[in-house]
Amino acid sequence: MKLISTVVLCSAILFSGSSTTADNAAASSSAIAIFGFRDAAAESSVETRFLAAPDAKLAEEHLRILTKAPHMAGTAEDKATAEYVAQKFRAAGLETEIVEYKVWINYPSEISVDLIAPPGVEMHGPTREHVDNDPFQDDPRVVMPFNSMSPSGDVTAEVVYANYGTPEDFEKLDKLKIDVHGKIVLVRYGQNFRGVKVFVAQEHGAAAVIIYSDPADDGWRRGDKYPDGPWRPDTGVQRGSVGYMFEFAGDPTTPGVASVPSLPESQRISPQESAQLPKIPVTPLSYHDVWPVLQHLRGPDSPREWQGSLPFTYHVGPGPSKVKIHLKQDYRFRTLWDVIGRVPGSELPDEWVVAGNHRDAWVYGAVDPNSGSAAMLEAIHGVGDLLKSGWKPKRTLVFCSWDGEEEGLMGSTEWAEQHESKLENSPAYFNVDVAVSGSKFGASAVPSLKQFVRDVTKAVPSPKGGTVYEEWQKASQPEPPSTQSPTEAMAEIHRTPAVQVKTDVPVGDLGSGSDYTAFLQHLGVPATDMTSSGPYGVYHSVFDNFAWFKKFGDPEFVYEQEMARIFGLEAVRMADADVLPYDYEEYGKEIAAYLDAARKRAEAKFGGRVLDFGPVSAAAHRFQTAGARILAKQKNPPRDVASLNQALRGAERGLLVPQGLPHRPWFRHAIYAPGEYTGYAAVVIPGVNEALDKGDSEAARQQLAVLASALDRAAKTLEGYR
C-alpha cells in the first residue's frame, strides 16, 4: 500500500495538463491536481483503491486458463474462453452479455506446398512446427499454417523473390526486367501488412504468393531461437489474415452494416464481390521450408538490401525453383462471440467509455492477444473493487472482449457498426491487444489524447521503481535493433509518430491492425492503444504459448499487473472526468506539421505553383487556435460543463469526411487511416498524401479542399462553445 500511495502522489499533474515532473508533483499533497477534475483529491482516492487491486498472480491464472487450448475464432474452444471472460465480468459486478455475429471466414481444409524443380531437390510443406521440449506444440487442435481470407486454388509455377513485396520492390523487379505474371511470388514478412503484399502482387499479375519469415527479421539473426531464446525457430510459421482490411474492416460481406445473425441475405454482398478478399491464393511458410526454394533460385543477384540471413546469396529468379501450391479452404458463415460488460453511468449514462481487447488467437495466443485479455480482466477486478466500495462512474463503462480480430477486426467492427448512433456520444475507446511481451512501454493515440496517456502513466508504478512514465522516458532513447518491440520488428505497428510537437515521450499514431480501427477511423471516437514489448519471435505461431510467456515474456507477471493498471485507469479517469481531458492544441500543431511536410512533397513533385496550400493552412491555423482557446477554458471550466464537453466530443467527429476516403469510403477520418500500401502503419492526412504518392495533382487538389472543410468543421465546433 505504501507504493501505491507514493505513486498517487507521483501521479499528480497540473490541472493545466502541463508536463510537470513526478518529483515536483510529489513535493506536496496539497498541490495534487488532475487535468479534467475539480476535486482531484476525491479522484486520487478512487485511483488509489483501483491501483491496489490488479494482481500479478491472478493475471497469471487468467493467462494459463485462456491459453490452455488453441482457440481460433468460431471454434468451441473460442466459445469456452468467452464463457470464462463473461464469468469474470459478472463476478466483478458488470452487466454482462455474450453477443453473436455471423461472419464469412475460412478454416484450412488441405494445404500443401511442394518444390518440384530443379530435379533432385525436394520440399514438402508446410512442415509441422516443432522444437525440443515445448509442452504445447503437439495438440491435435493446432491449426496448420494458413492465411485467412486466401481463396482456394492450385498453382504450379516458377518462383520470383520480391523481398518484402512493397510497391518499390516490384518497381525494382521491373527495372531488372523480371516479369512476375503467372509466377509464384515469394515475399518475406516485414515492412508492410501481409495483405498489402498480396494486393501488390495481384496488381502485378502474380498467380500466387508465399509469405515467409526470414531469420534476419524474425529469427536467429536477432538472437537465440526458441526454446533457448525468444526468437522464431526454423519451423515457426506466422499465420495471419491477408484480407484487404485497408479497404474496410469487419465481415467481408457486410461493409458498414452489422453482421447480426438475423441480417437478411439481401443485405449482404457476395464474397466474390467483396473488395476485402484477395483473388490469388496465398499461404505462409517457415524459413525451414523456404530455404531450398530460395537456395535454388537463379537469375540476377537480388539487390543487396534484399539479402536475408539464410547462408547463400539470394537471387530473384524466375526459377529454376518451381513450386506446386494446393489450397483448399473451408469457407462458411461462422459464429463469433463478443463479451460485453457494462457499468451504467450515474450521471451521464448515454456517454459510453469503451475499453476492449480481442480474445481469439491463431493458436494459443499467449502474447497476442491473451496477455491483453489477462490485463483487462485484472483491470475489471479493480473496477469490481471500486463498485463494492460504493463507487459509481459518472459515465457508462463498457468493457469488451472482442472475437474474430485476427480474421479482420470483425467482432469490434460489427459491434461498433451496430451501435453507431449510441457511440456518437462516446468520449473515448481504449484498446489493448499485445499487452505484454517484455518490459518496454509504448503507446499510440489520437493527438487529443496523447497527453492524457502520458498523464495516466505518471500515476502507475513501474516494476523497476518509480513510475511507468519515468521508465518510458528512459526507454524512449535509441536502442539496438535486437531490442525492437515484437510488432516493430515485423513492421506490424509503427509506434513512431509522424511528427513530434512536444518535447516529451513520443506517442505514436493510430493506423490499423487492431480493434480501435472502427471506433476512430469509421466513427470518429478518440482512441488509444498501448503495449509493453520486448524480443518476441513467435508471433502467430504455435510457440506463442504459456511456456514461452512464462520463460521470456513476463515470468513474474509484473508487467501484466502494470498494464492492467494503466488500461483500467484510462477508463476510470475518463469515466469520471468533469471536463473531458482532450488537448486540441497539440492536435492542431501536429496537423500543421503534417501539412508542412505535404507541402514540401508537393513542391518536389509538381513545383511550387501547382497546388495551393493557402486555404487548408488557414483552416489548420483556425483549428489550432480554437484548440488553444478551448484548452484555456478546460483549465478554468464553468460550473455547468455540458456544452463544453459537447463541443470537445464533437470536434473529432467534425474531422470525419462524409463521403469517406477516395476508393475506400468506409474509412472516413480526414487525418488518420491505414495506408493503402502499408496496411497497418498510419498515413496522416491520407487523402492528400496518397494522391501525392500517385503523382495525381488533381486528386491532391480535391483532397486539400476536403481536408480544409473537415478542419473548418472541427474548428467551428470548438468555436461554438463561448
Q: Give the model confidence (pLDDT) of 1-18 as tens digits.
A: 433 333 333 333 333 333
Query: At which residue does the C-alpha cell 498541490 appear?
Result: 31
Q: Is the pLDDT score of 113 beyond 60? A: yes
Catalytic annotation present for 405: yes
What pTM, to 2 d.p., does this model score?
0.94
Counting Cα atoms < 13 Å in the Cβ hemisphere of 279 gives 13
Query: What is the arithmetic mean of pLDDT over 24-51?
Result: 78
Out of 227-241, 321-335, 488-502, which region has the weakest mean confidence (pLDDT)?
488-502
Per-residue b/e over 108-138, b at no fewer than 16 CB within 10 Å?
beebebebebeeeeebebbbebebeebebbe
428 strand-pairing partners:
353
Q: Provide the 10 A C-beta neighbour count for residue 91.
A: 13
Question: pLDDT-derived band of residue 475, with 50, 70 and 90 as boundaries?
Answer: confident
8-state DSSP, 152? P
Alpha carbon distance 529, 443 (integer Å): 6
297 strand-pairing partners:
320
8-state DSSP, 559? H
Query: What is the arithmetic mean of pLDDT over 549-563?
Result: 98
pLDDT for the residue 679:
77
Q: Give the model confidence (pLDDT) of 609-666 as tens digits.
A: 789 999 999 999 999 999 999 999 999 999 999 999 999 999 999 999 999 999 999 9
Give me the sign of the Cα torsion angle 352, 357, 359, 361.
positive
Catalytic residue among 405, 414, 560, 585: 405
Task: Quote the percentage of the chain above a pLDDT of 70.
Answer: 93
Alpha carbon distance 318, 229 (integer Å): 36
Residue type, 364: Y
108 strand-pairing partners:
329
Q: Is the pLDDT score of 516 beyond 70? A: yes
Query: What is the arithmetic mean of pLDDT over 407-435?
Result: 98
* 35: nearest Cα among 711, 566, 443, 631: 631
Alpha carbon distance 617, 704 (integer Å): 10
Cβ atoms of 9 and 461 closer than 8 Å: no
Residue type, 30: S
Q: Is the pLDDT score of 532 beyond 90? A: yes
Q: Is the pLDDT score of 224 beyond 60? A: yes
pLDDT for the residue 364:
98
Alpha carbon distance 98, 91 (integer Å): 15
Could you tell me the three cell numbers for 454? 502520458
Alpha carbon distance 325, 221 (integer Å): 29
